[in-house]
A and B are shown apart, each in its own frame.
Chain A
Amino acid sequence: MNKRIYLDHSATTYTKPEVLEEMLPVFNEYFGNPSSIYSYGREAKRLVDKARDRVAKALNALPEEIFFTAGGSEADNWALRGVAYANKERGNHIITSKIEHHAILHTCQQLEKEGFKVTYLPVDKYGMVSLEDLKNSITDETILISIMYANNEIGTIQPIDEIGKIAKESKIYFHTDAVQAVGNIKIDVKEQNIDLLSLSAHKFYGPKGVGALYIKKGTRITNLITGGGQERGRRAGTENVPGIVGLGKAIELATENIDSYNEKLLKLRTKLINGIMERIPYTLVNGHPEKRLPGNANFCFKYIEGESLLLNLDMKGIAASSGSACTSGSLDPSHVLLAIGLPHEIAHGSLRLTLGEENTEEDIDYVLEVLPEIVQRLRDMSPLYEKVKGGNQ
């Protein structure tokens, strides 16, 4: 095997050469601590400030509203805990959805143990929350709504503008986990009434382990990481300057190229989805038909299991992911696939292909060539398929 095709851009992306180029001198040339007063420190500080400006510009936020973190998970943890603790005398109720990333869900579960009440909004078969449900869930005690911008598994994009309006009218803070959205969707935090937003550089061709939380000026929030006075006293720890520089460059590139990137991915994705649906029977496409991330394709192939599918694809050089239980190490398949109403046995056969910058039409042709054979081979081995063939085909 020499051919390798990466189709897991929602898991992570490579770091673009232009991004790496800006990062490299920060490791050895501009290595100062941004808190130091001498020139080394001032140089590093300037680089951090420049990155902050770039992030602010990409979101239409103010630079002083951007706080760097060690990634999306930290930003999510900070937004939830910080707002919950700072506003607990106003109320103890948080609204989120059933299909959030574990960085949100597990933090909410922890907050429940600490006495907060959490409503997990259901979603429809496309993975969409209902605005009616949201409105009906709001009580006098509600202090925070946290709904993800776009889902990492099925790609569904939530009605963020409308949620922002509802939150604003009800005077409730609105946080969105935009880790999968940044670089794929144009975001304007002012226009969209977003109070807090999480992002992570490695999802848009930046480095891993660095992200940011946008916190609208005036938001009541406690600190999560305590210690030194970095990030204007809000997030302790010597800054990951190379990472922050990389994040800044990556978000600038991503926002500049967002239209052409979208167009490219959409074209490839249409070819991929149509091609698979034409070639492989007993297949479902998960997620919303239109309101979905441009590079996201998510399928369930009935009668087979996701991990064996991934292993077979890997042997053919294709990197993909699945929401099957056996890939997660638990007995249950992905909570997202269950939330959109799929039965367990179908959710086990899921495959997520997420496209990116370097993918080509030939890559899609290759997938369309090898995937049907793999699915058929596994079906021929499956006792579930045997019943279908014998019965109601």
Chain B
Amino acid sequence: MYSEKVMEHFTTPRNVGEIKDADGIGEVGNAKCGDIMKIYLKIENDIIKDVKFKTFGCGAAIATSSIATELIKGKTVEEALKLTNKAVVEALDGLPPQKIHCSVLAEEAVKAAIEDYKKKHNK
């Protein structure tokens, strides 16, 4: 039911882990609905230098977390804010309809982490 791209990101997810001195951290979802995603950002001169994630969730949740980190790494904060759920799904060659809700977390987590960064750095 999952595309090859999804399975590839699920089996070898990119950027798993934590950043100890992160400039922004975003955590979205809750255990009740079954998916939680946490993103750590390292930002220098408004550019996302490093990004790591941890996810509790299904195959789609893990794969979207992984691809979202790839899509924003090296981008400016403003560019990263434009990341949409649609772009994430497209980059994975699609998701089954009942799995779309798992993919919105990625967009939300990135936004939450950037917000955290802005708050911490008075931007």
Contact = CB atoms under 8 A, between A and B. Distances in A.
Contacts of A333: 34
Contacts of A326: 34-35, 57-61, 99, 102
Nearest to B54: A383
Given A304-B56, A344-B33, A345-B31, 20 more contacts: A305-B58, A305-B61, A308-B58, A308-B61, A315-B11, A324-B34, A324-B58, A325-B34, A331-B33, A331-B101, A333-B34, A344-B31, A348-B31, A348-B34, A381-B62, A382-B36, A382-B54, A382-B56, A383-B56, A384-B31
B94 to A, nearest CB: 16
Contacts of B27: 383
A325 to B, nearest CB: 4
A380 B10 CA distance: 14
A128 B84 CA distance: 47
Nearest to A324: B34
Given A305-B35, A324-B34, A345-B32, A384 B60 contact: no
B115 interface: no
B18 A381 contact: no
B13 interface: yes
B35 A386 contact: no
Contact of A384 (B7, B56, B62): B56
A304 B62 CA distance: 11
Contacts of B122: none
A172 B31 CA distance: 42
A308 B18 contact: no
Contacts of A384: 31, 36, 56
The secondary structure that dominates the A interface is helix
Given A315-B11, A344-B34, A345-B31, A307 B59 contact: yes
Interface in A286-314: 303-308, 311
Interface residues of A, number: 25
B55 interface: yes
Contacts, number: 72
Contact of B36 (A306, A307, A324, A383): A383
A333 B34 CA distance: 8
B59 A308 contact: yes
Interface residues of B, number: 28
B45 interface: no
Interface in A359-393: 380-386
Interface string A318-345: 0000001111010101000000000011
9 contacts: A307-B58, A308-B10, A308-B57, A308-B61, A311-B59, A326-B99, A329-B98, A381-B54, A383-B56
Contacts of A311: 7, 10, 59
Contacts of A315: 11
Select the residue from B11, B37, B59 with max chain A CB neighbours within 10 A. B59
B91 to A, nearest CB: 19
A302 to B, nearest CB: 10
B17 to A, nearest CB: 9
A331 B33 CA distance: 6
Interface string B83-101: 0000000000000001101
B38 interface: yes
Q: Nearest 8 A-B pairs (CB), nearest first?
A: A345-B31, A326-B58, A307-B58, A383-B38, A383-B54, A344-B32, A329-B98, A382-B56
B22 interface: no
A122 B75 CA distance: 53
Interface string B43-66: 000000000001111111110000
Contacts of B99: 326
A317 B7 CA distance: 15
Contacts of A303: 56
Contacts of A304: 56
A324 B99 CA distance: 13
B34 A381 contact: no
Contacts of A308: 10, 57-59, 61-62
B19 interface: no
A325 B33 contact: yes
A384 B34 CA distance: 12
Nearest to A303: B56
